[in-house]
Amino acid sequence: MPDVVTRQVLMIFHAMFGVNVEKADRLQTSFNDDDLIACVSLSQDDLKILLRFGFPRVLLAPLLQRIYGPVLGKHETTFEDAVCEIANIVCNAVKKHLNEHGFSFLMNIPKIEHDFKSRYEKGSDDHLELEYVLQGERFSVDMITFYKRDVFANEAFS
């Protein structure tokens, strides 16, 4: 899975923004109050995968202003739409890869979340953290897996 996510992230940033992103060799990032965090979930029966994409605004601002200009490139909607589009493209590739290997995942629409402060997710069974670097700024993709053992005990399924 890390290879699928990384390949998509590198491709998206090159295609959308004309920049080359590098995979970080070690984890450093945690979420801060100004980060944009998009979440997408894939689900099938008793299995749920949550993908979270955390981007600092300072990383996205110059990229978006280059595409949309100085006015539209600073709008909150532009930031949120860009983050959700990146999440959508990556998650569709993950879903396609998994479904080609025997699964039948359904994917929800990416949405911006404001409540996450930690990259650790309570109740998760497996957690993959990936980090990338662009012009000295880091962003992250987390893939968190939950197995529904008891519907009432696992908040991820509510």
User: Model-level pTM?
Assistant: 0.85
Q: What pLDDT score does 31 carry?
A: 65
pLDDT cut 70: percent of the chain above it: 85
Residue 118's pLDDT is 55
Tell how far CA 92 is from the center of its chain.
11
Give strand ranges (E) for the chain: 22-23, 36-44, 47-55, 106-107, 111-113, 126-134, 137-147
Q: Return the H-helix or E-strand segment holding 85.
A: helix 76-100
Q: For the chain, what is the mean pLDDT?
A: 86
Note the pLDDT of residue 95. 96
- Residue percentage of the chain with pLDDT more than 90: 61
Cβ pair 91, 40 in contact under 8 A: yes
Instruction: Give how far Cα 4 sits from Cα of 17, 86, 91, Å.
Output: 20, 14, 10
**pLDDT value of residue 155:** 53
pLDDT, tens only, 45-98:
999 999 999 999 999 999 999 999 988 988 899 999 999 999 999 999 999 999
What lies within 8 Å, CB to CB, of 34 at 6+ separation is 56, 57
Which band of pLDDT confidence, cut at 50, 70 and 90, is reported for residue 154? very low
